[in-house]
Homo-oligomer: A and B are copies of this chain.
């Protein structure tokens, strides 16, 4: 039997060989570098309640370390500013009051400079914690969580700043010299898998969020999966076929959302006369037909799939394929047939892929104790799982078992679609 996904190399992150402090410094430096091209004003504005100002992301990721790592572990630690406890709390009821999310764009003060100084203040205290974590696995694990958390916000800094810039008629570029998305002009192929009992969820070594656990079994019926995500050119055919106006292609809520919000193409597509352009981190550019379509909602992904005679994969189908289990027992789903080609790998995916799976707890799921337990579990409702990772996902952040999730009408993420079909 041959393998399921086609990855040449294991993708799940092995336990980091390098010292924790070095990883800490790298991750923290990356956040600074992400806001470097931005002005203080760029960092202060909030373009919608779902998005946050970059400055808030910078402060909140620091708050996370201060609140959950430094404060309980560094005796005599003096808070940089006690008011920040409320100001940069995102949604942790157990930590106390929170500044309201839609009001994050009201905070011209503290200035970006002050927030960066806050960052340095906490980094200093974190040095000691990283040292101590060598002998304290629970502490090390908490710091790993903080770093994974910061990596999530790194991606959000870019999604949120792109959204902000998209509301500015000047269409500013975040980085005009930025390299465009990877170009994959390969023909779409369908790969077929047999039914079987898959093992889903995180293995237990290396970092994972609580929502990826516990590892458990899921029965999967036979299916086929596309060899790559849907491209802009393919999605354009749907647009030009009147896809946004044909109710029969849509979920009922989806058609309502599309009508109410006037959707007629992916979020950042702009028609200028006869040609299509797209607003990107490089600014306004011609639509590249060969890259994966991005910035579509679950609703649009689902409608496109129906139009194409297909459906979205479940997150279990996706993970079973991605985890390539050619040596497992007879209950595992099996790829039947083979194609001499390399589909997109996970960790360097260009786009998050919507699945048909509602975001729900795995059997036996228990959130962490205390405030950290609010990280994932309480959001398991009316959201859909995305798998893979995108061109702006930090390196090392993605995992085969990783479960990203957003409401079905969310469009401002790097979200696209890979098609699946039932096979009997």
Binding site for B on A (CB under 8 A): 39-45, 47, 55, 83, 86-87, 91, 93-94, 99, 103, 105-112, 164-165, 167-170, 172, 195, 197, 216-219, 221, 223, 247-248, 250-254, 298-299, 311, 356-358, 360-361, 363-364, 374, 378-382, 408, 422, 424
Contact = CB atoms under 8 A, between A and B. Distances in A.
Task: Indicate the member of A83, A94, A221, A361 with the most B CB atoms within 10 Å.
Answer: A221
Given A108-B172, A251-B380, A252-B379, 9 more contacts: A39-B108, A41-B44, A42-B108, A45-B45, A87-B169, A108-B164, A109-B172, A217-B221, A219-B219
A382 to B, nearest CB: 5
A382 B299 CA distance: 11
Contacts of A109: 39, 41-42, 165, 168, 170, 172
Interface secondary structure of A, over-half rule: mixed
B219 A254 contact: no
Given A41-B44, A219-B217, A108 B422 contact: no
14 contacts: A40-B40, A40-B41, A41-B43, A41-B108, A93-B247, A93-B248, A110-B170, A195-B217, A197-B197, A216-B221, A219-B219, A357-B360, A364-B424, A382-B382
Contacts of A47: 106
Contacts of A299: 381
Contacts of A83: 169-170
A23 to B, nearest CB: 30
A88 to B, nearest CB: 11
B360 A356 contact: yes
A73 B239 CA distance: 37
A299 B93 CA distance: 18
Contacts of A39: 40, 108-109, 111
Given A93-B247, A252-B91, A363 B221 contact: yes
A415 to B, nearest CB: 16
Given A219-B197, A382-B408, A422 B99 contact: no
B422 A363 contact: yes
Given A87-B169, A379-B251, A45 B111 contact: no
Contacts of A381: 251-254, 298-299, 408
